[in-house]
Amino acid sequence: MRRSAWTLALLGAIVVLALLSVAFGARVVSPGEVWAGLAGSAEGFGEAAVAKRVPRTVLALVAGAALAVSGVVMQGVTRNPLADPGILGVNMGAALAVVVGIAHFGLRSATSFIWVAIAGAALAALVVYAIASLGPNGFHAGAATPLKLALSGAAVSAALASFVSAVILGRNDIASGVRSWQIGGVGGADFGSMAAVAPFLAGGLAVSLLAAKALNSLALGDELAAGLGERVGLARGLASLGAIVLAGAVTALTGPIGFVGLVVPHVVRLLVGSDHRWLLPLSALAGAALLTAADIVGRVVARPAEIDVGIVTALVGAPFFIYIVRRQKVREL
């Protein structure tokens, strides 16, 4: 009953936030203009504003859901409460790959951005895991503790951000667009690019949802999971693939948006528990609501300009990250 109630509450919140998203911005529109704009009219300024806000609202909902699910899976696979596509360097790896593709290979199509972003995200994840797994006696998977993963991810993210700056240095033709995209935002949404990324998001989401049972087993430890019949390596690899595809595909569209995958899973666990069969879908709903709310706040507080959603989520997520670190016993991480 509690889980069903929270599902309904989150669905209601998404509907309300979606309506607020198309109503508020540099220009506030009336309910009549919202209805007319959603019906397809673009005759007045209000209706035109609504029509322009619909794609960004859809992108905020989809991106928030994908990043939240990616965060849940990464936390489950690594048994790391600090895991998040941004903190583990996955988003920045995707961002660097896209920037290199634009600057040196002339990539322009949304589909090419997506493939390159997913490849960059996967490579960054492997690098972070390899660094965190280095111990006194060389490489050892058991050495990749949560704190090591978080620190390795932070270091790799900083290095990759520097590489992005180095790539665009002297490229005035792409510098302004890349810098704006690198902050992370949904303002440039259009249904064409979203249609291109939809199959990747659907595939990543399906793989992640199918991994729910395996993630429940992995939470008990590798030995016990193997005793329950799970093929631990295969389960961890497939779940990680789903998370990386989601994070990489979203980053190709929005730029690197951090902390959604960190904040949402912890909050949803408090509401419905740790069963991934419920945690994954409800995190998708909560992530969609969070990113849409962050986009609304960014448009309202800086009117008539706007604050990119990546900045708003960082303002929320950074204190939450500190809280998680302080709540956990750092020596045990």
pLDDT of residue 332: 45
Give backbone dihedrals phi and psi of 82, rounded to 5 degrees, phi first: -100, 5
* DSSP bridge partners of 138: 135
Tell me the fold of 68-332.
Answer: ABC transporter involved in vitamin B12 uptake, BtuC (1.10.3470)
Domain edges within the chain: 1-53, 68-332
Q: Do residues 208 and 73 lie in contact, with contact meaning Cβ atoms separated by under 8 Å? A: yes
What does the pLDDT look like over 219-270, one tens digit per residue?
A: 988 888 889 888 988 999 999 999 999 999 999 999 999 999 999 999 999 9
Q: What is the pLDDT of residues 13-23, one digit of tens each?
A: 999 999 999 98
Highest mean pLDDT among 225-229, 275-279, 327-331: 275-279
Q: Please give the Cα distance from 253 to 279 (Å, whole number).
A: 25
Mean pLDDT for the stretch of residues 74-103: 91
**Which pLDDT does position 143 carry in this prediction?**
66
* Residue 31 preceded by cis peptide, ω within 30: no
pLDDT of residue 141: 60
Q: Which pair of structure tokens corresponds to residue 124? A: 């960054």
* pTM of the full structure: 0.91
| CA 98 – CA 83 distance, rounded (Å) | 23
